[in-house]
Amino acid sequence: MPTTARAFPNLTVVAHPLVAHKLTLLRNRATPTKVFKELVDEIAMLMAYEATADLSLEPAPVETPLERTDGWQVSGKKLTLVPILRAGLGMVDGVLRLVPSARVGHIGLYRDHDTLEPVDYYFKVPADAPERDFLILDPMLATGGSAASAIASLKRVGASRVRLLCLVAAPEGVARLQAAHPDVHIFCAALDRELNANGYILPGLGDAGDRLFGTR
């Protein structure tokens, strides 16, 4: 399994120094829940800047106090954020700080502990999916099962412009998504080494949902 980002054309590793710094704090097992939540929020905001870099614009001329000049606005329907429950919820507010008018859908999935396959329990996104850009939010891309299932659900309702924002990705998950959904670009803060036998990312940061919500 290749472990360098160069092997994956659909992957962007956001290498900003602030992202690397905050991710290191996030990985630390001693980081308490409150700080963990703040860091996920901050990293999501920083990464959203990169993940929205190619949104299309349309002209929007503007009157300054002195004269009329050229201006621009993001074109089309509002961007739609789709956190995968639960851990993806921790990324929503950070992204909304940059894109406050974004809509928010939700996809409920959990990994079966034995098979590691995703189990669906909730799906709600805006009705006009074919006309929208979607940004799926989930801190962890491990086997890729959850993200692949979320993307398939979005495509079933007509979505065609989908990207994924995660914090830590495993090569196994990136490869699975690249095979199943080659049209979906992935943005992550780090491409880690591998999965362990229980499907956890190494070195990773542990169970993102439990660390965010203090459930372990």
Counting residues that bind ligand URA (by CB under 6 A) gives: 9
Q: In the bound complex, which residue of the shown chain has the CB atom lying closest to ligand PRP?
A: 209
Q: How far is the CB of 104 from ligand URA (least distance, A)?
A: 21
- 146 touches, from ligand PRP, ligand URA, none (C-beta below 5 to 8 Å by class): ligand PRP
- Residue 195's DSSP bridge partners are 201
Q: How far is the CB of 109 from ligand URA (least distance, A)?
A: 11
Query: What is the DSSP pairing of strand 72-74 with strand 57-59?
Result: antiparallel
Element (H, E) at 27: helix 17-27
CA–CA separation, 36 vs 42, rounded Å? 10
Site for ligand URA in 135-154 (CB under 6 A): 140, 142
Q: Is 4 a catalytic residue?
A: no
CB 154 within 8 A of CB 162: yes
Identify the residue among 49, 123, 200, 213 touching ligand URA (CB under 6 A): 200
Binding site for ligand PRP (CB under 6 A): 84-87, 110-111, 116, 118, 138-147, 173, 199, 208-209
Token pair of 206 as six digits? 């542990």
Q: How far is the CB of 132 from ligand PRP (least distance, A)?
A: 22
- Residue 190's DSSP bridge partners are 168
Instruction: Kindly name the residue from 4, 93, 112, 115 that is annotated as catalytic.
Output: 115
Q: Is 111 a catalytic residue?
A: yes
Token pair of 2 as six digits? 């290749």
Of 77 and 111, which has the nearer Cβ to ligand PRP? 111
Nearest to 180 by CA among 164, 193, 195, 196: 164
